């Protein structure tokens, strides 16, 4: 119910619009939202990875120089990043922390406009509230959260950086530091891996 109430109050062009709810029983509630026919950014990155040559890929940081190549492009990584940044800024202005920012939670409209989704673990923050650590997907969680510190909007910004890395490399953050995928590692192991590469700015 909390996710439904939260989704119902959000109104931003870069957040998946809330349409309503559906249920078969009171414990089986589902949030209904607009159809995002282009899928999520994770799927887009996977489809781009199949092209071994960068020249054959269509998802770049900036538009192609020639009009023919530009017509073949769907959108740019820069456009997606700006859309997500606007959504995160809107949430933070409302004192809402998303807490699970990653490519799988960024959906694409028919016109490839990026829209943030999945508010299942988002929280409205109060000044004296301590956020629960160890929520979200481990490879995208800020090191300070993994070590038990308070969850703040800064942790969303860290996750946004991991999302940018995900778009840039077409892979999971820290994939080269782990065997096949980060999900199999403990929070402590990921925190150590993240801490090695993290530049402190807090």
Q: What is the DSSP string of 164-175?
A: HHHHHHTS-TTG
The maximal CA–CA distance of the chain, rounded, in angstroms, is 55
| From 100, 118, 128, 168, active-site residue | 100
pLDDT confidence of residue 168: 93
Integer Cα distance of 92 and 156 in angstroms: 9
Residue 40 DSSP label: B
Residue length, the chain? Answer: 202
Integer Cα distance of 124 and 116 in angstroms: 16
* Domains parsed from the chain with CATH numbers: 2-197 (1.10.510.10)
Integer Cα distance of 198 and 29 in angstroms: 39
Helix (H, G, I), strand (E, B) or coil at 163: helix
**Nearest C-alpha neighbor of 103 from the set 47, 161, 153, 167:** 167
pLDDT confidence of residue 9: 86
The answer to whether 13 and 114 have CB atoms below 8 angstroms apart is: no
The answer to whether 33 and 18 have CB atoms below 8 angstroms apart is: yes
| 168 annotated active-site | no
pTM, rounded to two decimals: 0.78
pLDDT tens for the chain, residues 1 to 202? 677 777 788 999 999 998 888 888 877 877 788 999 999 999 999 999 888 777 778 888 888 665 555 555 579 999 999 999 999 999 999 999 998 899 999 999 999 999 999 876 555 554 334 344 444 477 788 878 877 788 889 999 999 999 999 999 998 876 665 555 555 555 556 666 666 555 555 4
């Amino acid at each position: 119910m909390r996710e439904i109430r939260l989704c119902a109050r959000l109104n931003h062009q870069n957040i998946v619009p809330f349409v309503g709810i559906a249920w078969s029983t009171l414990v089986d509630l589902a949030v209904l939202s607009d159809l995002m026919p282009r899928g999520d950014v994770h799927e887009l990155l996977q489809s781009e990875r199949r092209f071994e040559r960068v020249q054959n890929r269509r998802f770049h940081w900036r538009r192609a120089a020639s009009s023919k190549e530009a017509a073949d492009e769907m959108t740019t990584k820069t456009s997606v990043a700006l859309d997500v940044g606007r959504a995160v800024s809107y949430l933070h202005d409302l004192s809402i922390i998303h807490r699970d920012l990653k490519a799988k939670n960024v959906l694409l409209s028919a016109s490839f406009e990026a829209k943030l989704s999945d508010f299942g673990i988002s929280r409205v923050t109060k000044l004296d509230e301590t956020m629960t650590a160890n929520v979200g997907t481990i490879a995208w969680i800020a090191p300070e959260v993994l070590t038990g510190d308070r969850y703040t909007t800064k942790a969303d910004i860290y996750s946004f950086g991991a999302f940018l890395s995900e778009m840039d490399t077409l892979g999971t953050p820290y994939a080269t530091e782990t065997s096949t995928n980060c999900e199999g590692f403990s929070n402590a192991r990921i925190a150590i891996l993240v801490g090695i590469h993290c530049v402190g700015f807090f």
